[in-house]
Structure 1
């Protein structure tokens, strides 16, 4: 058996060691240890050495994606993997503990939240330093919403999940709720965008991009934009860009507008940043003037989308208006090429059965329309799902948007989509569900927070979760790979918070 001496025996030994000569040590040392052993035995105070238990992990062997459930061309984005964990501890616009401070911090980082509520921005937040994951699902309580100004993605390798961007007109910004151009390796997942004064969310010119499971709703139609009527969904495009399982609801136009060469410039050339755009399993509801349109000189898949006209919809026989030029005075780029299949046009079985009945070539001839057609789909990457349009409709209603804790806005929008109606008229003349201010629908709803879970070692993983999964709550092991060969421990934790959603949304609960 191994023994360790008590405190006073150790002190006596050191004192003895310092006073006597080497020769005397050889003579007296055995007697000294005999005394110590006998003394301890008499008192019964012999203490066995306590050895630390050895932790043996058997990490799950799995392929690395941005996160489980990431699909499309942006699914290999790594974000902040391998970097530090930064906690957002307050709702301030800037300063220590703020989201802005976490975003402008350089280096790989995973941003988590210890608070829920509104972050009222005085200026846009721009992500200029890439290699970042923003995990909105970690917010305790009702989640995080940004208001008054935009979030702009201007960096490579970015993951954003489970956040809300509800701009509104109070901040005076003529802006998108969220936007990003000319970058690569980006995935936007389960976010909710609304009340923009321009587009709800515009992403084009990006390479290896995915926007999935987002809700874009109620852009402000007749608001503060200098051009007047401007309630738009988004401009979407890019090179290897995926847009799937998103909902666009209550936008007058751009649902979406597919990009064209004229929105690029000499520093970011269209020929470098345009390629396959895969638009599938989206739901478009209650558009006004146009549903999907544009796409000059581009290449697009439009597959298994669900178009549901609403009270504001002017043309109930059209879902794709292909352009050759942005306006009569703009350069003529020529029409795009489209693979169109499996789309459902609610209430119109003819278009559902023959999708090309719902497509026109603006300013074109019958020959121009025929030349739009692609007989075979463009490459769309490896997808684990194969939803038809009706399945996508139901899945988006169940799991779309910042659905970890849905707020009253998303709940109301989804009810409108399901029931085929609308909530309010605009206060400046817009009608039939197209609104002009967030005040038309009651403004920003209340969000409640909860205390952050105990995290003794400060690594971003709560003590209870670490204990339940065999980790040490007193050791910063966020960047270790004890639980997965693909994901850091902190990633396994943040992904576990929404595991039920990411599995059920693809039908895995049904054996698909």
Structure 2
């Protein structure tokens, strides 16, 4: 492949396993591009040279309805130099809460940031470039992270959100690892989310939104939520929202739940869900979609050891719902008793986990005829489904969507497992999740004492048939039998021994600036557009996007736009 970047990356895979990529090492031996002016004797460029032009969007590879978010483009730079969460200068919290206006957050550290309270993004025009962390990257632990209401223009890339239940009774009572509502122009790319006590990732009621190439895994079922069992993947919806090339693995339900918001009308909910991989659902896979206009295209559903056998749920693509209860009439008056409409095509239900001929055939039939065996046979018994209802539910053409590179479902399975999540440097946790999804196993199960019980006291634990493989109750359930006293569920993220110098604090390392003819002692050139031949991206954006461009190029192979 032609080298486009200052940094190029090579992928290392587990032998025989298509889905597990190891850390992608940077290659600092790239040749200087032709045409660069040189100083006599030292070979350093004296004038800026352009790099190869790339497609203009939030970043190269940004797709779907959120692809045009501008983030912190042209604004201030905040450099994270500390893993502390005390809100002082140099912390992530400072950059999010104290720096106002358009801003880009870059990192000079790698490791786990143990949050001391919820981290809420209340002001937009923000880019968080997790790929700049020197080493294994950044993980946010302990408390939820969320987008505040009415936040506009946010780009978040290559971060981990692993909340856990350490703050049980405080943050852990019904919290999402990462989520947000009522924002617009938002794109979340190549992030990893796990260990929530409600949903891992819920984004709905947003406008112009994309969640792409993320790993969403192991929500906590009996975590101490006062409402009882949860363990949910996420609620997905929005007014032009795209959810593509994500892996959802090891959730009891909401895989995902397509959910309108209380502000939804019969016309404004437009959702595109394509090329996602859904593995090892238990109580429910995908359902909902009340009064929504939805594409469900080329997704790959893979039953796992927790997936019910001997039931049509095994072949479920979606169980469509509508709002019909008395409480729904009060909360959702604009869409009460209203069906959505759906374009459903090209989805595959994997037949690799075989529990007899009947289950095998359920998967095969759903793959060959998505509607008859993956949708029409999935309705709750409370609905009366006539031929007229079936006709109104089924769109003959897709809902309009922004550009998304689309793979076949089977190619999407391979590409998502190779490149989703923080794949610049996958931690041991994501490697395990990807390996489980690839091989069809689940290595852990819930250890809460209420597994196997129904109602105890005020809580209906609904757990007579639990635990189930892959459905955990706490991150502590992952503890090996021989673990020492210092064991932690959060994987170690190593700091690089060499942190690139950045003399002018513009977010661009000196070495890169010298190579491309920028001035490492002039911070203002970070917001210039001298490196992009099309004069769209700032020099800072060209640098941070270059760090992962090889991943973007490779993940889109075999796809069609």
Counterpart of 2:348? 344
- Higher helix fraction: Structure 1 or Structure 2? 1
Q: C-alpha distance in 2, partners of 1:313/1:325?
A: 26
Superimposed CA distance per residue, residues 313-369 of structure 1 (whole angstroms, 9 cap, x where no aligned partner): 123132210011276864343221110000001112211110011113332324333
Secondary structure in structure 1 of the residue aligned to 2:265 = helix
Which residue of 434, 449, 453 maps to 2:495?
449
Bigger relative contact order (CA 8 A; separation at least 6)? 2
Shift of 1:449: 1.1
Q: Match for 1:470 among 513, 517, 526?
A: 517
Cα offset, 1:59, TM superposition: 6.1
Summarize deviations over 1:247-273 as a string: whole Å, max 9, x none.
Answer: 10000000110113xx42xxxx21399
- Distance, in Å, in 2 between the alignment partners of 1:474 and 1:273 is 53
SS at structure 1 position matched to 2:272: strand
2:306 equivalent in structure 1: 312
Equivalent of 1:170, from 166, 171, 189? 166
Aligned to 1:380: 401
TM-score calculated relative to the size of structure 2: 0.78
Q: Could you tell me how far apart the structure 2 residues matched to 1:373 and 1:325 are?
A: 18
Q: CA deviation at 1:287?
A: 0.4
Partner residue, 1:438: 475
Q: Among residues 518, 527, 537, which one is paired with 1:479 in the alignment?
A: 527
Q: Does 1:361 align with 2:379?
A: yes
Partners of 1:56 and 1:259 in 2: CA distance:
49
Structure 2 portions without partners, runs of 5+: 1-43, 330-335, 352-362, 452-466, 480-488
Structure 2 counterpart of 1:10: none
2:133 is equivalent to residue 96 of structure 1: no
Matched, 1:147 2:151: no
| Corresponding position of 2:4 | none
- Taking only aligned residues, the RMSD between alpha carbons, in angstroms, comes to 2.0
Q: What is the TM-score normalised by the length of structure 1?
A: 0.85
> For residue 426 of structure 1, what is the aligned residue in structure 2?
446
**1:306–1:390: 8 Å Cα contact kept in structure 2?**
yes
* 1:69 aligns to 2:91 (yes or no): no
Give distance in 2, aligned partners of 1:198 and 1:496: 35
Match of 1:80 among 43, 68, 72: 72
* Structure 1 residues 130 and 290, CA gap change in structure 2 (3 angstroms): same
1:56 and 1:95 map into 2 onto residues whose CA distance is: 35
Question: Does residue 490 of structure 1 match 2:488?
Answer: no
CA contact (8 A) 1:207 1:273 kept: no
Q: Aligned partners of 1:252 and 1:62: how far apart in 2?
A: 41
Q: Of 109, 130, 133, which residue of structure 2 is paired with 1:115?
A: 109
Alignment counterpart, residue 320 of structure 2, candidates 319, 322, 346: 322
Whether contact under 8 Å (1:312, 1:431) holds in the other structure is yes
Pick the structure with greater CA Rg: 1
1:116-159 per-residue CA deviation (whole Å, 9 max, x = no partner) reads 11111121111111101000001111110001111111211000
Q: 1:455 to 1:352 in 2, by over 3 A?
A: same
Report what 1:19 is aligned to: none
Do the aligned residues in 2 keep the contact of 1:62 with 1:486 (CA within 8 Å)? no
Is residue 59–residue 481 contact of structure 1 (8 Å, CA) maintained in 2? no
Query: CA–CA distance in 2 between the matches of 1:456 and 1:333?
Result: 61
Name whichever of 76-85 and 53-62 sits farther off.
Answer: 53-62
Alignment deviations for residues 281-330 of structure 1 (CA, whole Å, 9 cap, x no partner): 00000001111100111110000000001111123132210011276864
Q: Which runs of 4+ in 1 moved over 6 A?
A: none
Higher mean alpha-carbon deviation, 410-419 vs 425-434, is at 425-434
